[in-house]
Chain A
Amino acid sequence: SQQGEEDPQALSIQEGENATMNCSYKTSINNLQWYRQNSGRGLVHLILTRSNEREKHSGRLRVTLDTSKKSSSLLITASRAADTASYFCATGFQGAQKLVFGQGTRLTINP
């Protein structure tokens, strides 16, 4: 399967701490994206990293991509209760228009 795998499956931290989620995938990619999903809602795009980019920042989000290890990580700094959600990585492939999603990490921020 081309599906990415997120690690950990669930993460619970205190407000103000940093949260790190990891994603691994199996084949060469064109781009890797992270999405957020609040319970039962639609997914919201957070950040896109192209295969030739090693790191990208957006506000409190930092994404790293290591294509040699076929892995990515999403760091959320100074977490807030409102960051509680599921986070998914999605991989895009050259010559294919679909995005393949991982199983997600459920992040809980405790106030």
Chain B
Amino acid sequence: DSGVTQTPKHLITATGQRVTLRCSPRSGDLSVYWYQQSLDQGLQFLIQYYNGEERAKGNILERFSAQQFPDLHSELNLSSLELGDSALYFCASRRQGETGELFFGEGSRLTVL
């Protein structure tokens, strides 16, 4: 158990809909990372927050947004969903700084029909 909790584990929805994925980092970790894993794109970095502030942005679509709350949990919002958004979405946390390992949650598997 990594200590990172993601909900929901599985989600099936229709095109055009909006979903919210939730992540609780390890106790004491200030940084939260979101990654998308699909079969054809590998593991893609989406966005990182540190202590409530956005720190780095990757290949995140404009239809996607995220935030980190004062209690350090984070949410990833995906809207106007398309078939191609079907993927595993991972949250990972790290205590602070640029180095050190990431601790991954078990992921949220999103299926868009």
Contacts and interface: CB of A to CB of B under 8 A. Distances in A.
B98 interface: yes
Contacts of A40: 88, 107, 109
B101 interface: yes
A31 B109 CA distance: 29
B65 interface: no
**In the complex, the 5 A-B pairs of residues with the closest C-beta atoms, listed nearest first:** A45-B101, A42-B104, A101-B43, A103-B42, A43-B104
28 contacts: A30-B98, A30-B99, A33-B102, A35-B102, A40-B88, A40-B109, A41-B106, A41-B107, A42-B105, A42-B106, A42-B107, A43-B43, A43-B90, A43-B102, A44-B2, A45-B102, A48-B100, A95-B98, A97-B31, A97-B48, A97-B50, A97-B98, A98-B33, A98-B45, A98-B56, A99-B45, A100-B45, A103-B42
Interface of B: 2, 4, 31, 33, 35, 42-43, 45, 48, 50, 55-56, 58, 88, 90, 92, 97-107, 109
